[in-house]
Chains A and B, each alone.
Chain A
Amino acid sequence: MSLLALALLAGWATSNTAQIAKGREVYETACILCHGKDGAGNPEWESEIRPVSFADCGTTAEPSALWKSVVVNGGPKHGLADVMPAFGEAFPPDELDAVVAYLRTFCKTADRYPPGDLNFRRLLATGKAFPEAEAVLKTKIVPDEGETEMEFVYENRLGPRFQYELEFPVRPAATNEGYGAGLGDVVVSGKYVLAFNPARLRILSGGLEAALPTGSEKKELGSGTTVFVPFLAFGQGIGSTVFQTKLSVELPANTSKASRTFKYSVGYSLPPIGLARTGYIAALELTGSYNRQNRSHEQTAVIGVSKALNKLGHVIASVGMGIPLRPSEGPKPKEFRAYLLWDFGDGPFWTGW
């Protein structure tokens, strides 16, 4: 290691240690009486109040901006308990940064968890890299074809970096072309955070999906074969905007029933209007697929907007429109997309309104 690198590392360590020390001082001044010495939410006095436990590593999934806003604006502003006071301008920005850095130390393995600052808002078409504990109801409607697709997605975390996922696609009603309703190919998948860098707001995940042949081929609900889909997902914060992308390859077990297809999607989220956690976020996406066998290449542009429905920001809805740019077979009609998600890792659906 070069002398310069050592010096930079030493400088970082000193400033980090100083920040943690300052954060501890703020914590002991303003937080310890309610949140307790160990940050586990055990007040130092006889009380029925049980504040959030910072020792619970699940809290690493919350972005620092949210924690700072709770300190400044109080709990009710974010749908949290009204006993959490608003400290207003009691702490300058460096002390707010310091106390949040100190709060992060109560989770003893916090450095293994991607922090919530990398938990970028979900897009309509592009998969995200951050491991989630969410239930999502997605829909895609193509009015001109009388087709509605729905998908229920369940995602949950295991440990610091792993997430498993189940997807249940459903066609609730027969299409104009006569294809019947029913369950599509159920997808089972796993995702692991390969790398993350909080300072550079960067996260990379990889995983494998397996689409099981549960859907009827006759109704065009399924492919009739298991399809394995290795993928990479990447997120990059750029100021208050976000770039996300997902690359995947569909590898069918039986290539006579389905063909290998390369899929990609990229999305760019504009700066939030309002708080990043709860405000409106508009996004532009480009999603495409390339089928090597018949050399078809399709692309769709998706314009969407999302917004948290409650103060806590753990129930979010998004609506948008897909415009086919490069259809493989004649002109394709516009499609409408939407999702409703509940981040159950943040609490029950009915809290925080």
Chain B
Amino acid sequence: MATAAGAPMVQAQGSGKITGRILFKGVPPEPMKIRMAADPRCQQANPNGAERRQIDGKNGGLTNVIVSIKTKVKGTFPPLTTPVVLDQSGCMYTPAVIGLMVGQPLKMRNSDETLHNIHPRPVVNEGFNVGQPRKGMETEKKFDKPETFFPVSCDVHPWMRSYIAVFDHPFFTTTKEDGSFEIPNVPPGEYEIEAQHPTLKIMTGKVVVKAGAAGVVDITYTLK
């Protein structure tokens, strides 16, 4: 079974957890209109047009942020075996951000009746460019080194873009629409956590986790 990008199936490591919210202050930029006229099948899938919000969320919370533990956690963490799905549907990538463990499968699926290609451009890992010309096609790939956000895009439909981060541990998650997050199964300790957003700089915060309890940390971005 594939899992949503923001809900890695963490093996039991500890009894604590890290929760909190990623927030933003300021006025987000206007959404960008996407022109899909070049491919009629994309236009049919989006008869009212489509747009991309660089800063998205609800109630001051920021979604599409990958939150992870930056501090080295003791122990060995075998790769998660459940694939994370990157779906190409309605000529858009879903989800917008993906967290993966080293060696965890990324399952790329074409749910459209048109050609898509999946072209990640990592710096540390080896890139690839997979073409999926037909609906229902699926391809699995893995990354073998930890790496912060790198873009994955479709060269045929340049507006299609997602971001992938790769970790050597399972302690990461994606913020929900209201910016909230929860990293479960965290061993007790003092941690630095890191927030990655596709268009904003990396932010960090500190939190203490006690056995069986939640350590809470919020991080706030100030938009210029």
User: What residues of chain A have their CB less than 8 Å away from a CB belonging to chain B?
Assistant: 26, 29-30, 33-34, 44-47, 49, 74-76, 82-88, 90-91
Contact = CB atoms under 8 A, between A and B. Distances in A.
A103 B169 CA distance: 47
A85 B38 contact: no
B119 A85 contact: yes
Contacts of A46: 38
Given A45-B156, A85-B129, A88-B139, 15 more contacts: A29-B115, A29-B134, A33-B38, A33-B114, A33-B115, A45-B157, A49-B155, A74-B129, A74-B131, A83-B155, A86-B129, A87-B130, A87-B131, A90-B131, A90-B134
A83 B115 contact: no
A95 to B, nearest CB: 10
**Which of B39, B117, B128 has the most chain A CB atoms closer than 10 A to its own CB?**
B117
B137 interface: yes
B151 interface: no
Given A33-B115, A44-B39, A45-B38, A90 B155 contact: no
Nearest to B131: A85
Interface string B20-44: 0000000000000000001100000
7 contacts: A30-B133, A34-B155, A85-B131, A85-B155, A88-B139, A90-B132, A90-B134
A37 to B, nearest CB: 13
B158 interface: yes
Contacts of A49: 155
Interface in B150-169: 155-158
**Tier of interface size on chain B:** 20 to 34
A88 B114 CA distance: 17
Contact of B156 (A34, A74, A76, A91): A34
Given A82-B129, A86-B130, A90-B131, A33 B137 contact: no
A46 to B, nearest CB: 7
A74 B130 CA distance: 8
Nearest to B37: A45
A26 B131 CA distance: 13
**Which of A33, A44, A82, A91 has the most chain B CB atoms closer than 10 A to its own CB?**
A33
A90 B127 CA distance: 19
A47 B153 CA distance: 14
B38 A44 contact: yes
Contacts of B115: 29-30, 33
Interface of B: 38-39, 114-115, 117-119, 127-134, 137, 139, 155-158
B130 A88 contact: yes
A87 B132 CA distance: 7
Given A29-B115, A33-B115, A86 B155 contact: no
A84 B117 CA distance: 9
A30 B131 CA distance: 8
B133 A86 contact: no
A90 B129 contact: no
B38 A90 contact: no
A49 to B, nearest CB: 7
- Nearest 5 A/B pairs, CB to CB: A45-B38, A85-B131, A30-B133, A85-B117, A85-B129
Nearest to A49: B155
Nearest to A76: B129
B87 to A, nearest CB: 17
Contacts of A85: 117-119, 129-131, 155
Contacts of A44: 38-39
Contacts of A33: 38-39, 114-115, 156
Nearest to B133: A30
Contacts of B157: 45
Contacts of A86: 128-131
A84 B155 CA distance: 9
A74 B131 CA distance: 9
A82 B118 CA distance: 12
Contacts of A45: 38-39, 156-158
**Which of A46, A74, A90, A91 has the most chain B CB atoms closer than 10 A to its own CB?**
A90
Contact of B133 (A75, A76, A90): A90
B138 to A, nearest CB: 11
